Amino acid sequence: MFVRVKSSPNKPFAVNSTSRGVYGRFIKGFRALTFGDVRLTGRNDELARYLDVRALPSCKTRGNLTFGAITVPCALGRSGLTQMKREGDGATPIGQFELLNVYYRADRGRRPQTELLVEALKPADGWCDAPGHPRYNRPVELPFDASREKMWRTDRLYDIVVVLNCNMFPAVPGRGSAIFFHIARETYTPTEGCVAVAPDHMRLVLSKVRAGDIMRVLSN
C-alpha cells in the first residue's frame, strides 16, 4: 500500500490514500514540478539502520558521522544543533530523518553508486524556503514567485545532495526547509543547518546505505 502525492505549481500536495509505517505513511512516486522523486519506505524501526551524527565537544559546528564501521568528519549548522528548528536560524535540527533521494551534478562527476533513487540536477531546479507558500520545503522550477534556494550552484556543495525527511510530511511553516545531507567545503566551514561531508566520504556512505536508512542527529 502506498500514498501517491502529486504536485502542481503553487498548489499544496494532495494525499489520495492512507497507510501506516515508521512515519505514519508509505510515500511512493512523489513527483516534483520538474525534478525529483521523494520516497518514504516505511521500513520498520528494527530493520532501519542509522547514520549517527554528533557534534564535537570542542566545536558546535563540526562533528562526526558514524555508519557502521565508517566514521567521517562532518560540518554542521553555523548555530550548532537545536531541538526547536526555525527557518533561517542556521542550526542543524536534532532528530531522526530518513534518507529519501539523491540529486547530483552530472556535469561535474559520475552518478553516485547507491540503492537510493538518484536524479541529475538541472539549472532550473530550486527549493522553496518561503514559510507562507503552499510549496514550502518542496522542490520547485525556476523562475519561482517566492523565496527559494537555487539547487544548481556555482560552488560544489550540491554536487551530491541527499534529501532528508525533515519537516517534509507535512511541511510545517517556519520549522525549517532544505535540510540536506550534502558536500562540505574543504575547510568544513559551517552550513546553514545541513550535515555536510567530503565528496569521497559522501560516495562511500551512499554506496553502503539502502532505502529506509535514517540519519540520526544526536544531542550528545
4 inside domain: no
- What does DSSP assign to residue 151? S
10 inside domain: no
Q: Which pLDDT tens digit goes with each residue over 196-214? A: 999 999 999 999 999 999 9
Looking up residue 194, the CATH number of its domain turns out to be 2.40.440.10
Cβ neighbors of 94 (< 8 A, separation 6 or more) are 81, 82, 83, 217, 218, 219
Domain enclosing residue 109, as ranges: 47-217
How far, rounded to the nearest angstrom, does the alpha carbon of residue 117 sit from its chain's CA centroid? 13
Percent of the chain scoring above 70 in pLDDT? 79
12 inside domain: no
21 inside domain: no
123 inside domain: yes
> For the residues 79-86, what does the mean pLDDT come to?
98
Q: Which pLDDT tens digit goes with each residue over 136-179? A: 999 999 999 999 999 999 999 999 999 999 999 999 999 999 99
Residue 194 to residue 79: CA distance in whole angstroms: 11
**Going along 24-143, which residue ranges are E strands?**
27-31, 37-40, 50-56, 59-67, 70-75, 81-82, 92-93, 95-104, 117-120, 125-128, 139-141
110 inside domain: yes
37 inside domain: no
Please give the tally of structural domains in the chain. Answer: 1
Amino acid type, 63: G
pTM, to two decimals: 0.82
CA proximity to 135, closest of 151, 148, 153, 122: 148
31 inside domain: no
